[in-house]
A and B are shown apart, each in its own frame.
Chain A
């Protein structure tokens, strides 16, 4: 039985320092292939050391649009080719957006209780970039798939169509899911968290200061007390983060969510899953 690690800090400050000199000026153009390659090699060394990373085709799939319609809300999906079973499962998937100021968009940790790795979220994309999913299976192997996404300005675009309304609902959560009719079968649920997830790259013209970064650091989902999904995230998740995931309902019980953010905010939500016999 795999337990989700209680606390893993992403090496983001280190990454930012290491990569600051490589930071591309956000703009519509693509960085040259050499710059992209250098950046990926640095990222890879930082996150995975000298471990082998195999081609993930047939193990994991990554969906993302070739060209983003809205660079601040780019839908991405990560789907494993096999269900989560105690004898073979995906332990984690690292979602990388190479050229973003904070390239690690999120680390998603799974357990057999996740049922299947089938996750949708929305990210900011700041410039033309490779987007990668690196999966680690329970035996410690790494598999990678990637897509090239054309987008620009997703991190510096002003957030918020209605900031007053957004502030009023800060931390509010909504779980969208169909009623569970088939216990024992992976069931999809979409978690919405009202949060600016601000990047620290959006400037306030009056104060001439950047709006301080304020973003979700962790999302922890349990079902009947058992870990289902743990996400460590950063500024690359879109405003009002959405995470659509799966879990394995084995009977009536509580699906509970704990969220922490970069300013020490903590938010909780709990939903009863009813119906059927356990």
Chain B
């Protein structure tokens, strides 16, 4: 599988970063019991711009150690109020996030924004319920939650264990059809709802003051992207994101990966993988290879570039195959 020059360069960078990550992962695993012992410590909110903070989700699947919160979570502080972007994977984590926000500001949380339906992004919502915050999401988020929350609650309850107690799904009460402006007091956010991409209910948040784009899971870094919507739709949305006016976005916070990354180079690895997934799967469909053979034949060269490749790549090929055979 050959890649064009710039992609190959970026693949090399990704491979180096991945080797570093693996060393870090080993250390994290060794420290896991220690971390579990300090499980009541609030999550660390890393500043990425003035008034903008990110909790970096640890890579992995839901567990009692991460409380189901393995996605990045954002906090934006205005002059009047605070917006929270995603809430982690359990009520317990949501409560810790609230405590961490108390550590940086006394302003109330006015908006809890969910970037999409996945459990690691929405299941901390209940911790913010009843305190006057609006819950904001894509106009298709309520129906997606209705169909999926029972399944997610079951599986996360098993994976997270007793600390999952009290977790429930909280649906948005403020829906975004296309775009929505939110003012936190001297700080304007633009929320954008997309057509089907990573899921059928993806939403991004742009903080105009700092030029920080919270991409939700429209952007995975380090961890393999998961196709749970439409592969072709996702590539179209990435093209649209790249076309944002120059200067409007200066950095991006991925749904999974570092606290922030430079724009638009941060999109390169994901776009390369999704393009290969498209091209190779399309070729497999054309030769009537079948799903099992396609899993072996599609984008094998990407294996060294991503965490959780073996866990999620076969499902991505399956999803792509069943999408592309209708072309």
Contact = CB atoms under 8 A, between A and B. Distances in A.
Contacts of B199: 161
B177 interface: no
Contact of B326 (A157, A192, A202): A192
Interface string B40-79: 0000000000000000000000000000000000000000
Given A69-B318, A161-B199, A204-B146, A75 B230 contact: no
Contacts of A77: 290
Contacts of A98: none
A21 interface: no
B290 A75 contact: yes
Given A75-B292, A188-B288, A205 B200 contact: no
Contacts of A190: 288, 325
A160 interface: yes
Nearest to A28: B158
B325 A176 contact: yes
B146 A205 contact: yes
A83 to B, nearest CB: 20
B149 to A, nearest CB: 5
Interface string A30-55: 00000000000000000000000000
Interface in B135-166: 140, 142-143, 145-151, 155
A97 B290 CA distance: 21
A160 B290 contact: no
B196 A161 contact: yes
B318 A70 contact: yes
A190 B285 CA distance: 11
A122 B319 CA distance: 13
Contact of A160 (B147, B151, B155, B171): B147
A158 B291 contact: no
Contacts, number: 78
Interface in A119-173: 120, 122, 153, 156-165
Interface string B297-327: 0000000000000000011001100100110
Given A156-B151, A160-B147, A161-B319, A176 B288 contact: yes
A61 to B, nearest CB: 14
Contacts of A188: 288
A211 interface: yes
A157 B290 contact: no
A70 B312 CA distance: 10
A160 B199 CA distance: 10
B296 to A, nearest CB: 11
B315 A70 contact: yes
A73 interface: yes
B292 to A, nearest CB: 5
A20 interface: no
Nearest to B310: A69
A203 interface: yes
A206 B146 contact: yes
Nearest to B200: A162
User: Top 9 A-B pairs ranked by shortest CB distance?
Assistant: A69-B314, A158-B148, A203-B150, A206-B146, A162-B200, A205-B146, A205-B149, A75-B291, A162-B196
A265 interface: no
Interface of A: 65, 69-70, 73, 75, 77, 120, 122, 153, 156-165, 174, 176, 178, 188, 190, 192, 194, 202-207, 211, 240, 242, 244
B277 interface: no
B141 to A, nearest CB: 12
Interface string B268-299: 00000000000000000000101110010000
Chain B interface, >50% SS class: helix
Given A242-B322, A244-B288, 6 more contacts: A69-B295, A161-B200, A192-B326, A205-B145, A205-B149, A244-B290
A221 to B, nearest CB: 18
B229 interface: yes
A159 B199 CA distance: 13
A110 B290 CA distance: 22
B112 interface: no
Contacts of B142: 206
A144 B149 CA distance: 40
B95 interface: no
A205 B170 CA distance: 11
A240 B314 contact: no
B290 A211 contact: no
A62 to B, nearest CB: 13
A201 B228 CA distance: 20
Nearest to B196: A162
A75 B314 CA distance: 12
Contacts of A240: 322
A122 B292 CA distance: 11
27 contacts: A70-B315, A73-B291, A75-B292, A122-B291, A157-B151, A158-B147, A158-B151, A161-B196, A161-B200, A161-B230, A161-B319, A162-B196, A162-B230, A163-B200, A165-B200, A174-B325, A190-B288, A192-B325, A192-B326, A194-B326, A202-B147, A202-B151, A204-B146, A205-B147, A205-B150, A242-B322, A244-B288
A161 B146 contact: no
A205 B146 CA distance: 4
Contacts of A164: 140, 200
A69 B226 CA distance: 13
A11 B5 CA distance: 60
